[in-house]
Structure 1
Amino acid sequence: MTGAKTAVDWLASVAPDPDACRWEWERNPLGVTLLPAGKAWDVLILPGRLGRPTLDVLTRILDRPGPVLADSGDARTGFLVPPGTAAHWLGTGIRTAGAGTWIVVPYPGRPAGKVRWLVPPDGSGTLTGPALLELAMHEAAANLATKEDPA
């Protein structure tokens, strides 16, 4: 559980009061908290149809991509990327969460309700680079297009 504690500390470090955040988060029956994006990470939110295939591409080329979130039913997949990425992202159909936004974050290593980690943070601060994520998205989209149009 040491890795989970480190991940909790890393995530809570962006909260206005990290100690209070950790205390409430550990006792929240839903296992989630709201954390501000734009400090240690931004989030690029892909539609589920593209999110999982993009994660599949990333896991083929990286030992371990940065943290990745998914909502219930995998309708959306959120990739944690370096802060500032959201302000410069120009991708059709991709939502962003950066400075001034808050996201629901599940407690690492514990089951939560509607949001869960596909790749939990390890506490090291490793994030997925936006250029690599974009390349993985293009490959995933091309693979999806090929499957839909096998001609």
Structure 2
Amino acid sequence: MRPAAECDLVTVPARQGLEAVDILRRGAAADLVGPVLHDGGRDTLGFLVPPGTADAWDVPGSTCTQTDGRDLGPAPEPPVEGSDWLLPPGDTDLATDPAVLRAALGEAARLIEVADGCR
């Protein structure tokens, strides 16, 4: 894992992202979830992942972009204006493993689909 200061950013709808955070934090991967941003105005969550992830990211309903080397050291301002930390870098200094995030996002999407089908 890389320090959070050298990361790409996976952005997902807030509902799916919050489900994924819950899945990651309560499972065996609890130590593998890195800093997470919440962009309240756009209703999205952003997971910091290792650099280079954007080159091969292909999860439907999400995007992965490079952070262009923005400093995300201890107690930083969020790198996206209008956002705030859901899980700040001070709580964890590692980026989220992309394979673990991919699995959590898939599980979250399935849970949301089932929940929406029960309405």
Q: What per-residue deviation string (whole Å, max 9, x for no partner) do you get for residues 21-69 of structure 1?
A: xxxxxxxxxxxxxxxxxxx111101112211111111111204620000
Q: What per-residue deviation string (whole Å, max 9, x for no partner) do you get for residues 84-115 of structure 1?
A: 0011101222111126x477x7x83779x721
- TM-score, normalised via structure 1 length: 0.62
Equivalence for 2:75: 108
Equivalence for 1:44: 10
Local SS of the residue matching 1:91: coil
Aligned residues: 111
Pairs within 5 Å for 1:67-86: 67-73=35-41, 75-86=43-54
Superposition CA RMSD, Å: 3.0
Equivalence for 1:37: none
Which contiguous aligned blocks of 4+ residues in structure 1 show a shift greater than 6 angstroms?
Answer: none
Local SS of the residue matching 1:70: strand
Pairs within 5 Å for 1:1-150: 11=5, 40-61=6-27, 62-63=30-31, 65-73=33-41, 75-98=43-66, 101=68, 108=75, 114-122=82-90, 125-150=93-118
Q: What per-residue deviation string (whole Å, max 9, x for no partner) do you get for residues 68-94 of structure 1?
A: 001125611100001100111012221
Letter of the structure 2 residue corresponding to residue 43 of structure 1: L
Query: Which ranges of structure 2 fall in alignment gaps of 5 or more residues?
Result: none
Is the Cα contact below 8 Å between 1:43 and 1:98 reproduced in 2? yes
Q: What per-residue deviation string (whole Å, max 9, x for no partner) do you get for residues 109-145 of structure 1?
A: 779x721101111386411100000110111111111
Is the Cα contact below 8 Å between 2:8 and 2:49 reproduced in 1? yes
For 1:142 and 1:78, how far apart are their aligned partners in 2? 19
**Higher RCO structure (Cα 8 Å, ≥6 apart):** 2
Query: Which ranges of structure 1 fall in alignment gaps of 5 or more residues?
Result: 1-6, 12-39
Local SS of the residue matching 2:61: coil
For 1:75 and 1:145, how far apart are their aligned partners in 2? 19
Give the helix-richer structure, 1 or 2. 1
- TM-score, normalised via structure 2 length: 0.76
Task: Compare CA radii of gyration and give the structure with the larger one.
Answer: 1
Is the Cα contact below 8 Å between 1:87 and 1:98 reproduced in 2? no
For 1:41 and 1:140, how far apart are their aligned partners in 2? 23
